[in-house]
Amino acid sequence: MANHVLEDAGSAAQLEVALPHPATSKPARFERFLENERFLAFILLAPAVILLSVFIAYPFVMGVWLSLSSTSVGIPGQFVGIRNFVKAWNDSIFQQTLRNTFVYTFWATLFKLTLGMWLALLLNRHFRGKRIVRASMLLPFIIPTVLSTFAWRWMFDPTFSVLNWVLYRGGFIMTKLPFLSDGAWALWCAIIVNTWRGMPFFAITLLAGLQTINPDLHEAASLDGAGAWHRFWHVTWPLLKPVTIVVVVFSIIQTFSDFQLIYVLTGGGPANSTHLLATYAYQLGVAAGLLGEGAAISLFMFPVLLVVVWIQLRYLRRLEGV
Amino acid sequence: MIEQRWKKWVYFYIPLAVFIVGTLFPFYWMAITAFRPDEELYRSWRAVNNTPFWTLQPTLAHFQDLLAKTTFPRWLWNTFFIAVASTGISLFCGLLAGYALARLKFPMAGALGTGIFVTYLVPPTLLFIPLADIIRNFRLGNTPWALILTYPTFLVPFCTWLLMGYFKTIPRELEECARIDGATRFGAMLRIIFPIAVPGILSAGIFAFTLSWNEFIYALIFLSSPERKTVPVGVVSELIRGDIYFWGQLMAGALLGSVPVALVYSFFVEYYVTGLTGSVKG
DSSP B12-36: IIHHHHHHHHHHHHHHHHHHHHHTS
Q: What is the pLDDT of residues B232-279, one digit of tens each?
A: 999 998 888 777 888 999 999 999 999 999 999 999 998 998 888 877
Decide which of B45 and B34 is more confident: B34
- DSSP letter string, A168-216: HHTTS-SS---TTTSHHHHHHHHHHHHHHHHHHHHHHHHHHHHHTS-HH
Inter-chain touch B45–A63, beta carbons under 8 Å: no
As a whole-number percent, the residues of chain A with pLDDT over 90 amount to 57
Chain B residues closer than 8 Å to A295 by CB:
129-130
Give B 207-236 residues with CB within 8 A of chain A. Answer: 210, 213-214, 216-217, 220-221, 231-233, 235-236
CB contact under 8 A, A151 and B92: no
Question: Is the CA virtual torsion B163, B165, B169, B172 positive or negative?
Answer: positive
pLDDT in tens, A73-104: 888 888 998 999 999 999 999 999 999 999 99
Going by C-alpha positions, the residue among A97, A98, A88 that lies closest to residue A292 is A88
Are B55 and A168 within 8 A, CB to CB?
Answer: no
Contact assignment for B261 to A294 by CB distance below 8 Å:
no
Lowest model confidence (mean pLDDT) among A146-155, A196-205, A246-255, B52-61: B52-61
pLDDT category at B48 given cuts 50, 70, 90 is low
What is the structure's pLDDT at A89?
95
The whole-angstrom separation of Cα B54 and Cα A278 is 38
Residue B90 Cα, gap to closest chain A Cα (Å): 8
**Contact status, residue B26 vs residue A148, Cβ threshold 8 Å:** yes
- The whole-number pLDDT of residue A160 equals 84
**Per the CB < 8 Å rule, is A258 touching B125?**
yes
Model pLDDT, residue A225: 85
Lowest mean pLDDT among A164-173, A185-194, B77-86: A164-173
Residue A278 contacts B where some CB pair is shorter than 8 Å: yes
Instruction: Go through chain B and tell me how many residues it has.
Output: 282
Residue A254 at interface with chain B, using a CB cutoff of 8 Å: yes
Report B:59-88 residues touching A (Cβ under 8 A). none
- What is the average pLDDT score of chain A? 87
Residue to test with chain A: of B4, B8, B23, most A Cβ within 10 A: B23
CA distance B129 to chain A (A): 6
Mean pLDDT score, A9-15? 43
CA distance A5 to chain B (A): 31
Q: How sure is the predictor about A27, in pLDDT bands with cuts at 50, 70 and 90?
A: low
pLDDT at A266 over 50: yes
* CATH 2.40.10.10 for domain A98-288+302-321: no
Over 80: is that where the pLDDT of A16 sits? no
Checking if the pLDDT of A11 tops 60, the result is no
Alpha-carbon gap: B126 to the closest alpha carbon of chain A (Å)? 5
Burial code (b: 16+ CB inside 10 Å, e: under 16) for A187-206 equals: bebbbbbbbbbbbbbbbbbb
pLDDT number for residue A15: 43
Determine the Cα–Cα distance for residues A202 and A18; give it in Å rounded to an integer.
58
Query: Which residues from chain A sit within 8 angstroms of residue B276, using beta carbons?
Result: 138, 141, 201, 204-205
| pLDDT category of residue A219 using cuts at 50, 70 and 90 | confident
The pTM for the full model equals: 0.90
**Percentage of chain B exceeding pLDDT 90:** 59
Give A 73-102 residues with CB within 8 A of chain B.
none
pLDDT-derived band at B46, boundaries 50, 70, 90: low
**Which pLDDT band holds residue A164 (cuts at 50, 70, 90)?**
confident
Answer whether A59 touches B (CB < 8 Å): yes
Whether B45 sits inside 8 A of A159 (CB atoms) is: yes
DSSP state string for A57-75: IHHHHHHHHHHTB--BTTB
Average pLDDT, chain B: 90
- Under the banding of pLDDT at 50, 70 and 90, the label for residue A108 is very high
Mean pLDDT is lowest, of A158-162, A209-213, B42-46, for: B42-46
**Which comes out higher in pLDDT, residue A175 or B22?**
B22
Indicate yes or no: CB of A47 within 8 angstroms of CB of B93.
Answer: yes
Alpha-carbon A107 to chain mean position: 17
Residue B250 near chain A (CB below 8 Å): yes
> Could you report the per-residue pLDDT of B111-167, keeping only the tens digit for each?
898 888 888 888 989 999 999 989 988 999 899 999 999 999 999 999 999 999 899
pLDDT surpasses 70 at B49: no
How many Å lie between the alpha carbon of A8 and the closest alpha carbon of chain B?
Answer: 28
CA B159 to chain centroid: 13
Cβ–Cβ below 8 Å for B134 and A161: no
Mean pLDDT of A125-153: 93
Taking the Cβ of residue A135 and every Cβ of chain B, the question of whether any pair is shorter than 8 Å is answered with: yes
- B7 vs B98 pLDDT, higher one: B98
- Residue spans per domain, chain A: 98-288+302-321
pLDDT(A265) > 90? yes
Residues of A in contact with B107 (CB under 8 A): 38
Distance (Å, rounded) from C-alpha B228 to C-alpha A215?
A: 53
Q: How many CB pairs under 8 A join A and B?
A: 286
Would an 8 Å CB–CB cutoff place A189 in contact with chain B? no
* Residue A28 C-alpha, separation from nearest chain B C-alpha, in angstroms: 10
| Residues on chain A touching B251 (C-beta within 8 angstroms) | 150-151, 154
* DSSP count for chain B of H helices, then E strands: 17, 2
B212 band by pLDDT with thresholds 50, 70 and 90: very high
